[in-house]
């Protein structure tokens, strides 16, 4: 099979995004939050955990500690108890408390609006930073690569890479920057509804004519 040119891949990626937008017009971040700060905390908790489980945990957490000031003053033992269901609870509790302390002491409580700076906060890597910047502020500095984005972009042959960092670089080359934020939400929705890891429903997929891996 001849190697696809970058121009053709960009054209195919644009059509993929267009079809998915029509299929999932309400695609958005599935984490529940009321403020950018709460989104950042929820995203930290979502590491190695489902969004559904995080959304079951954060109502109690945010009722007790709704903002950085309250979180910084929180008892670490209480935090551990509350976030325990999300897994890795000791590290997550430590990170969200340290994150709040640094946010207040270094940034005056204002979440930084660029990736280089926001990733200085405890618990915030490139993925978490991109989620917060994109979802809370509409700032696109990259493409968030979760397990759905990784798997489906490989099936679509938009990338052949294996690491999230390399996949993101490939996707940034072929996806319109205006779609960087929504592309992740579209892929997640599609991965949950149709392109299911254990049994992809290729016959029902709006992308089957664009997907080299389609079984149709």
Active site residues: 127, 146
Distances in Å between the Cα of 17 and the Cα atoms of 49, 73, 175 are 27, 43, 8
Burial 13-44 (b: 16+ CB within 10 A, else e): beebbebbeebbeebebebebeebbbbbbbbb
Using alpha carbons only, give the angle 46, 172, 197 rounded to the nearest 5 degrees: 50
Counting Cα atoms < 13 Å in the Cβ hemisphere of 112 gives 20
Please answer whether residues 47 and 31 qualify as being in contact, where contact means their C-beta atoms are separated by less than 8 angstroms: no
């Amino acid at each position: 099979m001849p190697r696809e040119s970058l121009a053709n891949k960009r054209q195919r990626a644009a059509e993929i995004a267009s079809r998915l937008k029509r299929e999932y017009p309400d695609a958005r971040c599935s984490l529940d939050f009321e403020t950018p700060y709460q989104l950042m905390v929820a995203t930290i908790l979502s590491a190695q955990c489902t969004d559904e489980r995080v959304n079951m945990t954060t109502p109690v957490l945010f009722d007790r500690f709704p903002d950085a000031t309250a979180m910084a003053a929180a008892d670490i033992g209480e935090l551990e108890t509350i976030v325990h269901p999300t897994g890795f609870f000791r590290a997550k509790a430590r990170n969200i408390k340290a994150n709040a302390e640094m946010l207040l002491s270094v940034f005056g409580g204002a979440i930084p609006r660029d990736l280089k700076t926001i990733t200085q906060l405890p618990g915030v890597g490139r993925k978490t930073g991109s989620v917060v910047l994109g979802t809370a502020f509409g700032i696109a500095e990259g493409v968030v690569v979760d397990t759905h984005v990784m798997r489906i972009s490989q099936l679509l042959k938009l990338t052949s890479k294996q690491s999230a960092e390399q996949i993101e670089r490939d996707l940034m080359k072929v996806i319109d920057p205006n779609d960087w934020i929504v592309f992740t939400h579209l892929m997640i929705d599609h991965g949950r509804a149709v392109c299911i890891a254990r049994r992809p429903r290729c016959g029902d997929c709006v992308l089957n004519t664009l997907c080299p891996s389609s079984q149709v």
